[in-house]
Amino acid sequence: MAKYGGPDIKVEFDNAAGTLVDMSQYVLEMGDVNIEAVLEDSHTFGDSWAEVLFAKLRKVGDISLRGFYDDTATTGPDVVFNDVGNLGSSGAGSRTLKVTWGSTKTTSVESFIRSYRRTGKAGGLTRYEMVLALTGAVTEV
φ, ψ of residue 86 in degrees (nearest 5): 55, 45
Strands 95-101 and 105-119: antiparallel
For residue 86, is pLDDT > 80?
no
pTM of the model: 0.82
Local structure of residue 90 (DSSP, 8 states): T
For residue 90, is pLDDT > 60?
no
Model confidence at 123, pLDDT cuts 50, 70, 90, reads: very high
For residue 89, is pLDDT > 60?
no
Q: Which structural domains are found in the chain, ordered by start?
A: 6-31+62-140 (2.40.10)
- Over residues 11-31, the mean pLDDT reads 91
The neighbour count for residue 33, using CB atoms within 10 Å, is 16
